[in-house]
Structure 1
Amino acid sequence: MEEQKRPIGEDWLALWIGLGIFVLGLGAFAGVNVLGWGAKVNVWIDAAKAVVPVSGAFKEMPSIVSLILTYLFMLGLMLIAARCMRADIKKFAAGFTLVFWISYGCWFTGHYAYIAATPDVLAKYGINWSLNLTGEAGFIVALLAGLVIGNFFPKLAAFMGEATRPELYIKTAIVILGAGLGAKAAESMSLASAILFRGLCASVEVYLIDWAVVYLVARTVFKFNREWAVPLASGISICGVSAAIATGAAIRARPVVPIMVSSLVVIFAVVELLLLPFIAQALLWTEPMVAGDWMGLAVKTDGAAIASGAIVDALVRAKALAMEGIHYQEGWIMMPATTSKIFIDFFIGIWAFVLAIIWCSKIECRGEVKAVEIWERFPKFVLGYMLTFVLLLAFSLSSPEALKAAKGATSQMDAFRVLFFVMTFFTIGVISNFRKLWAEGIGKLAAVYLLCLFGFIVWVGLLISYIFFHGIKPPLVVG
C-alpha cells in the first residue's frame, strides 16, 4: 500500500499562494494584465455600478463576469490548498463557496455610500451624510456576520467548517501585502525606513517585557504550572495562536494546552478588534502612526492585528479629513501595525528555539536541541512578506516608470488581497462561539488573559507605540 503523503501546513501554503498571486501580478510590468479582470468594489449608491474589473483594460467586461471569474480563481487556488492539506475536497468546496460569497457580500455592503463615503465625496454621491467609515467598513460587517453565524447558527458554521481557516487566509494576504507596502515605501523611502526600524524596536518590547510579566502572573498569582504558563504567556503577549502553538511544542506541552489558549486568543482578539480601532480613532487621530503601531502590538493573532490596522487606517484618515481637512495617503497608518506584527512573527521561531533549549537543558533534560528546530518553527509566510516587499521596493526605486508600473501591479494584487482579508474577518467571527468555549472550562485562563491584556499589555503597547512613533505623520494625498 502506498504511504500517504504528509499534509502540507497552512504556513507553507500561504507562502506559495501569496507568491503565486504576486508573480501573476508582476505581469503588469510587461504591460500584461494577468489579474486585471479581478473584481473590485467601489463606494456606491447605484449597486449596479459598484463592482468593476480592477484594470481599465477590462472596462468593457460585465461586472458579473468579473465577479464570477474572481470566485472561480479563488476557488481553484483554495481547492489546491485543500488537497495539499488533505482536507475533504467536496466539503471544502461547498464551505468555501459560502465563505466567499458571504464575505464578498459583506465587503460590498461596507462600500455603501451612506456607510463608507468620506466628507470630501458626499456631493459626488448626492448625499448629505454618511457614517464616514470608508470601504473598510466591510471588514467590520464581515466580522459581525461571522459572529452571528458562529453563535446563533451552529449548523451553518459547521457546514463551512472545512473552509473556515482564518490563519491560511490572513497569512496569504500578508504575503501579498508586502508588495503593496514595498511600492508605497518607494514613494517615501526615509519614512518607510524609520517605520521599519521603529517597528523592530517596538516589537522587541513584547519579548523582553510582556512575556516575562504574563508568565510571572500566571505562575505566582494564578498558580499555573510551567506547561500552562508558557503557552499562556506566549499567546497573550506575543502573537496569539502561532506563538502559543510554537512555544507549546517547544516545551512538549500536551496538545490540549495550546489549543485551549488559542481559543482564548481568538475570543479576545475579536473583542480587541471591535473596541481598540474606535478607541484609537477617538484618542489618537492626531497621532496616526501611533494608532497604527498600537494595533500591531496590542491585538493578538495576525488576522485581527493586521485587520485592526486596516480599520484604524480607514477610521483615522476619515476623521483627520473630517476634522482638519488633512487627507493622508491610504496604507501608511496600517504599515507600522503590519511591521510590528511581522517582526513579532519573525522572532517566534527564535523564541520557541530558546525555550526548547531551556526546557531540554534545565528542566526536562530530554536531549539535545538541534538547530533545525528553529527552521521548523519559523513562520514561513514571513519570508514571503519580506520577499515581496524587497522585490517591489527594488523595482519601484529603479525608475519613475517602474514605480508607476508597480502601482498598477499592486492594485491588481490588492483585488485579491482584500478578499483574503475580508474572509479572515468573517471566519474569525464564525469560529468565535463564546458559549462553547466557556463550556470547555476556560474561566481561569480567561481571568489571566483579561487581567494581563487589559490591565497591562494594551497600555504598555500604547506607551511603546507613542515613544517610537510620536510626531510621525503619513504622506498626504497630492492633487
Structure 2
Amino acid sequence: MIRGFRNEDGAAVLVGLLLSGLGMLSLAGIDPFGWVIAAKTWTDPSLALQPANPKSYAISAPISLGLTFVFLLGLFIAATKWAGESARSFALRFPVVFALTYGAWTLGQWAYLAATPDKLPKGVTWTMGLTGEAGYLLALLLGLLIGNFLPGFTRWLAPASRSELFIKTAVVLYGAVLGVKAATETGRASAILFRGIAAIIEAYLIYWALVYWIARSWFKFSREWAAPLASGISICGVSAAITTGAAIRARPVVPVMVSSLVVVFAVVEMLLLPWMARVMLPDQPMVAAAWMGLAVKTDGAAIASGSITEGFFLADAASKGIHYEADWMKNTTTTVKVFIDVFIGIWALVLAFVWSRFIDRKDDGSGPTKLPWAEMWARFPKFVLGYFLTFGVVLTLGLLLPELRADLNKATGESTDQFRRILFSLTFFSIGLAANFRRLWAEGLGKLALVYVVCLFGFIIWIGLAISWLFFAGMLPPITQPGA
C-alpha cells in the first residue's frame, strides 16, 4: 500500500502533516513558525518584509526570508525524492521560482493595491482594495508572461513549477483550519459539509452526463475522448481526466490533451468568475465561495479562485464597516472541491466496471477484462486523505476539549498561515507558467475548446450558481469586531 503513496499526492500529504504537526507545538506554548517571512501591507519597501512574529523571533527580514527559503527547499527536495523524481533538477530551479513568486507576492501587498478603504495607511488617499490577494494575481500574471513569451526559460523552470504539489500541500493544511472552525461554528460548518455532499451529486450525476452526451451527440467524439473530456470539464480537471483515462484504458494522448485544455481554461475561469461573483452576488459571500468550488476546474485554480473571491468580498464588506472572519469563504470553496475529489477514485472504478463489462468486452470468449484495482489505487487522489485526517483530528480535539479551541485556532491559523500563503502564491505562478496558449492551440485543441465553452458557459457555471444559491443564500461568514 505504501507504494501507492510514493507519488506527488503522497508527498503533499507528508509535507502537509509535518507542517500541521509542527504547528500544534503552539498548544505547548511554543511558537514553531514565528520566524517565517511575512509580507505586510506597505508603502515603504524597506518595511514590506518581516518575521511573522517578531516578538518571538528578533531577527532581520533577510535572515527570516533566507530561513523560510531553506526550510521550504529542504521540504520539497525530500518530497520530490519521495515521489521518485529528480531532486537535483528541482533544487537548481526552485530558488528562481521562489524568488519570482515571492517578489510578485510582496509587490501585491503594496498599499495602493492591497489596503482596504477602512484601513488606509498614512499618506495613502486611494486604493484598489484588493487586500493581499493582489499578490496572487501578480504571481499569476508573471507566470503567464514568462510562460507565453519566454518558452526556453519556462521549460527550464518546469521541474520546480509544481502547482499540484504546492496546492495539495496547502489543502492538507486547510483541513486543520476547517476542523477548528467546524468545532467552533458547528452550524455553518455543517452546512458547508452538507453542500459538499450535494456537490458530488451535481458534478457526477448532472454535469458528467450532460458533457458526455454533448461531446458524443453534438461533436461526434468517440467514447475514448468523450469520457475523459466529460470528467475533465465537469469534475476536477487534470486529476479527473487522467484518472478516467486510466479507468477506460484510453491512449495516453487523450487525457494529456484534455488536461492541457483544462489548464488553459482554469486561468480564464480564475480571472473571470471571481469578478462575476463580485458583481452578481455582492451580498452573498458563501454562495460565491461555493460557486467557485463547482465551476472552476483543477484543484489549484478552484481554491485560488475562492481565495481571490474572498479577497474581493472582505474588502467590499470592510468598506461598509463589516468585518467578516477570514478563511470561511476559502474553506467553503476548498471543501466543495475536495468532496468532489474524494470520489474521483470511486467514479473511476465505476467507469472501469462499465467499460470492462459493457464497452470493451473481448470477443474471443475469454470474458471481460479485469478491473485495474492497482491502477485505481495509484490514481486515487490521496492528498484528500491528508485533508480529512487533519480535519478529523482537529475537529475531535475541538469538540472534546472546548477550552483548547483558541489555542487550536492559533496553531492552525497563525502558525501555518504564512506557509499557506506562500504555497498559494507558488501555485498561481506555476499555473501561469503552464498556460502556453499558442502551443496548445497548435496541438488542435480548437474543437475540444469549443466543447468546453459550450458546456462551461452553457450550463455548468449556471447550474453551479443555482445550487450554490439553494444551499447558501443568506448565509454569511462570522463577523468580527473592527480591529480584532
TM-score of the aligned structures, taking structure 1 as reference length: 0.95
Letter paired with 2:406:
K
Taking the aligned partners of 1:85 and 1:62, their CA distance within structure 2 comes to 35
2:357 corresponds to: 361
TM-score of the aligned structures, taking structure 2 as reference length: 0.94
1:387 corresponds to: 389
1:426 corresponds to: 429
Which residue, 468, 471, 475 being the options, matches 2:471?
468
1:26 corresponds to: 24
Taking the aligned partners of 1:300 and 1:6, their CA distance within structure 2 comes to 25
Taking the aligned partners of 2:5 and 2:398, their CA distance within structure 1 comes to 37
SS for the counterpart of 1:139 is helix
2:438 corresponds to: 435
Which residue, 307, 315, 329 being the options, matches 1:318?
315
Taking the aligned partners of 1:136 and 1:386, their CA distance within structure 2 comes to 26
Kept in 2, the 8 Å contact 1:147–1:430? The answer is yes
Identity %: 53
1:173–1:418 distance in 2 versus 1, CA, 3 Å: same
1:40 corresponds to: 38
Deviation at 1:398, TM superposition (A): 4.2
1:336 corresponds to: 332
1:203–1:321 distance in 2 versus 1, CA, 3 Å: farther
Letter paired with 2:280:
L
Deviation at 1:428, TM superposition (A): 0.3
SS for the counterpart of 1:448 is helix
Taking the aligned partners of 1:252 and 1:404, their CA distance within structure 2 comes to 50
Deviation at 1:390, TM superposition (A): 1.8
Kept in 2, the 8 Å contact 1:52–1:59? The answer is no
| Cα deviation digits, residues 431-454 of structure 1 (max 9, x gap) | 110001111111111111111111
| Cα deviation digits, residues 40-79 of structure 1 (max 9, x gap) | 1111112222222223543411111111100000000111
Taking the aligned partners of 1:451 and 1:25, their CA distance within structure 2 comes to 45
2:188 corresponds to: 191
Shifted more, 68-77 versus 406-415: the winner is 406-415
2:364 corresponds to: none
| Cα deviation digits, residues 250-272 of structure 1 (max 9, x gap) | 00000100000000000000000
Taking the aligned partners of 2:56 and 2:153, their CA distance within structure 1 comes to 36
| Cα deviation digits, residues 381-432 of structure 1 (max 9, x gap) | 0011111112222223444541222122121212111111110100000011
Shifted more, 284-293 versus 76-85: the winner is 76-85
Matched pairs, number? 473
Letter paired with 2:129:
N
Taking the aligned partners of 1:369 and 1:88, their CA distance within structure 2 comes to 32
Kept in 2, the 8 Å contact 1:203–1:297? The answer is no
Gaps of 5+ in 1: none
Taking the aligned partners of 2:122 and 2:103, their CA distance within structure 1 comes to 21
Kept in 1, the 8 Å contact 2:11–2:80? The answer is no
Shifted more, 365-374 versus 304-313: the winner is 365-374
SS for the counterpart of 2:188 is helix
Letter paired with 1:71:
F
Which residue, 328, 349, 352 being the options, matches 2:348?
352
Letter paired with 1:206:
A
1:407–1:55 distance in 2 versus 1, CA, 3 Å: farther
| Cα deviation digits, residues 106-130 of structure 1 (max 9, x gap) | 11111111100001111x3331110
1:147 corresponds to: 144
1:240–1:370 distance in 2 versus 1, CA, 3 Å: closer
SS for the counterpart of 2:131 is coil
Shifted more, 156-165 versus 49-58: the winner is 49-58
Map 1:49-198 to 2 at 5 A.
49-122=47-120, 124-198=121-195
Which residue, 188, 197, 202 being the options, matches 1:200?
197
Shifted more, 370-379 versus 127-136: the winner is 370-379
2:273 corresponds to: 276
Deviation at 1:377, TM superposition (A): 3.2
Which residue, 226, 229, 239 being the options, matches 1:229?
226
